[in-house]
Chain A
Amino acid sequence: MKGGLVSLQFLNSRLANGLDLILTRTYFNAAKGDYRMECTVEFDKQQFDQIENILNEELIETGVQSVLLIDLAGNIIVSLDNGNINHDIYSLAALAAGNFGAVNAMAKIIGEEDFSLLFHKGEKESINFSKVTEDLLLLTIFSKDLSLGFLRLKVAEAIRKIQNLI
């Protein structure tokens, strides 16, 4: 089979197994003396769909306006909304990753491992950040109709379910 841009033997075999998403990281393989790419997160089709379902069920259906699952480099993995949203999600994801990274670095400077709450309150809409795994971040945009406390409960539940899948 002709290799596609990224659909080489490795990827072809993964596709055959129904793999849906690959996050990669380059690492130095000392044994081989070169740089290789490893997959830090792999979702198969079923997991991908399940993640979307979880986010829909726990968050969108509860009244959250918009949900973005992104990686820490600023790439979007899942984007869901209630149909009324028209944000520039690409810029949002890039900025969110940068913001989260910056705040995380600040935490380390003051001797904290992490901050348990990163939340920006707006007049009408607010944004909450939550870490899902080492590489994944969940961004929720919600209106003042929803309390932060309740949202955090729902987010924690969604994250718990997603972590069980991975």
Chain B
Amino acid sequence: MTTLRIMRYALLSGAYDYGSIYTWRSWLGGWFLRVLAQVSFFALIGRLLGAEQQTWFLLVGNAVMLAAMEGVWALNMVSWERSAGTLPLLAASPTSPVLVLASRGVYLIADGSISALGALFVLGPLFGLPLPWPRVLLVIPLTILVGASAYCLGTFLGGIVLGYRGVNSLVANVGLVAVMTLCGINVPLAAYPGPIAWISQCLPVTHGLIAVRDVLSGNLAAAGVQALIEAAVAVCWLGICLLTFRWFVYRGRRSGSLEYAT
């Protein structure tokens, strides 16, 4: 019960933080506009190439990538706690810091999924992407799965940056573009060299995105298998995160790197 209470308060705290950054108006006129522009930016490469299938491939990949993008931002939770001066208190508390840090950013999965689905359902028809009803509804849980999977990776990366306060944004940005490069967002996995394709299999997004593409093309059985693999990848990253976080905090205590810093 205590664990659930801590998770609830952490989640509410994160949601209130986010509410202080965006209003509905600024979210729609600022953030969502960027989301639409980001997906259009990549989808238009397909138009440049004069290939409709490639346009759709890029549109779907980059829309789903938005859920992953916000999921990876979970690693920012560490720097936000640090700049608020609450990181040492978390480390000193009897509760595991990973519980608070992993719960506090759950709103990112919701926001990322809404952004991704919003982009897909707004831009899809504009670019002529077929969204067959009702099976397109399966894209919703799959997008949330991708967001959650990336969130597990983001929380793990948050543990790594605990001890290196100067590299938070660096890890977040390079990590994101690396996911964008490696996970079949812009070209099929078959286009990657062998070892790179192998790394892609172990990263979040890859299988979830294939599942989304399978749903849209009507291959539901294959989509189910890919969704299960994506869930397994998410569980693995969560496991790695839980196993390593305690050590990261211990290392931070020893080196004194959990101090307040803006």
- Asked if A and B are interacting partners, one says no
